[in-house]
Structure 1
Amino acid sequence: MSPVSRPQVMGIVNVTPDSFSDGGKFAAAADGIEHARRLIAQGADILDIGGESTRPGAAPVSEFDEILRVVPIIEAIRKASDIPISVDTMKPGVARAAIKAGATIWNDVAALRASPDAPEVAAELGCEVVLMHMLGEPGTMQDDPRYGDVVAEVEAFLLARAFTAMAAGVAKEKIWLDPGIGFGKTAEHNLALLKALPRFVALGYPILLGASRKRFIAGIDPSAGEATDRLGGSLAVHLHGADAGVAAVRVHDVREMVQALEVQVAIKAI
């Protein structure tokens, strides 16, 4: 019997004052570094460092300020650990500074669309790149998202962005795709995309799934009004993703997610 694998767990480190779930909690560099160390100890396989909130209605951050937020965290982590580090940014300049500081993955919610030179910068950096689907931009994406066929449209978008990245020189094996749960989608759109995860996995790219503490969970369980009340729903979504074959799950609650995945693996291994 072949060993049972599980998705990698990407732990979220938001060094922003206005993140939807933990805004301001780790904004100070020392707090962000300590949180990153805690996630490593809890079993994170990857750390995702973000210096600009992409919650609905979020205000943009200057490139200068974003670099000041993320680079000290990345440098400190890299000195202490060889864990893969992802930088969550739409800006090529921030990605460049982060990779120089020790990051190895560019996680771009704009799928290399925020700047005309983004695909070329990604190719130049030679890092892994996560291309995510987002309808509109963070400030307006949840105003009134509409699709004819959300699964088909998200799939077509992601394949087109992968082609654009490869045309600019990004190697196919460096590209990840993310359907963008909660980014310009209603609860029904999110559920349709989650049900269709095997279809996205079949595209042949590693799939990153990020649904941790997302608002649509409260639509299913109205008692989960606060982001921190959505652990159960988050675990359910990501275990579903594991069954579908996603390559990684992006979560706030690393210890609980690792435990849930290990139990799932143990059951399947019997």
Structure 2
Amino acid sequence: MREGLILRDAAVRFGGRDVLKGFSLAPLKPGEVTVLAGPNGAGKSTLLKGIARLAPVAGEMILDGEALSAMPAPQRARKIGFMPQSLPSAASLSVLECVIAALRAGGAHHGPDAAEKAMAVLVRLGISHLALDALEKLSGGQRQMVSLAQATVRDPRLLLLDEPTSALDLARQVRLLSEVRRIASEGRIVLAVLHDLALAARWADRIAVLHQGRLYAEGPPAEVVTPAMLAEVYGVEARVERCSKGALTVLIDRELERS
């Protein structure tokens, strides 16, 4: 497969230990949203940073037939949008200036249309009223929406999202994930880290669960999110049921004793 993202034999070391070793995924296809799930410390965020070439990760990472390690930095910046867990404070910049800076990081849009394109993204995300506000004055949820604007303003081929809903209220979660689905529907590849398995089951096409340094399970949400997986990977007794609209729900009953 030439189109899409291939991850093969990825390895991540942190603090002198192997966090991930020999990690491979089925090819990530354009138009799909894939979620990385698993306990804290499983290597999900580090793997995402490694794909973005922001952390040392070994292994093959090929986007549309081209190795990410061989791409010049400006080309990677145009092709990959990365939304970190938290957005660094930039006291001297407004929201609009932050998004314009992200747009120009790919080496294009130095003309007057940069502000127009940046503003259009803010409008689409429902945060245009924050355009002239200083980044340091925003709430955590507002900063996450600005981070999504920065990650998507260059229309990337691959969108990487690290816990994008962690600071958002319910309405903003729906807005953000609806935007993510729209981005995928335009033929882009989306890979996200989500801790909320109910959200992942509702919005993702595929879920990949990381456990003890390896891939535990991968596939459609209904096949991956099971009581057996939740017991073995997360250490909880849980029920996986469908609501009145057919969406998967996860109901945690108790923590299991570890032997």
Which has the greater radius of gyration?
2
Q: Which has the higher helix share?
A: 1
Q: Identify whether the pair has TM-score above 0.5, normalized to the shorter chain.
A: no
Greater relative contact order (Cα < 8 A, sep 6+): 2
Q: Which has the higher strand share?
A: 2
Q: TM-score, with normalisation over the residues of structure 2? A: 0.36
Q: TM-score, with normalisation over the residues of structure 1? A: 0.35
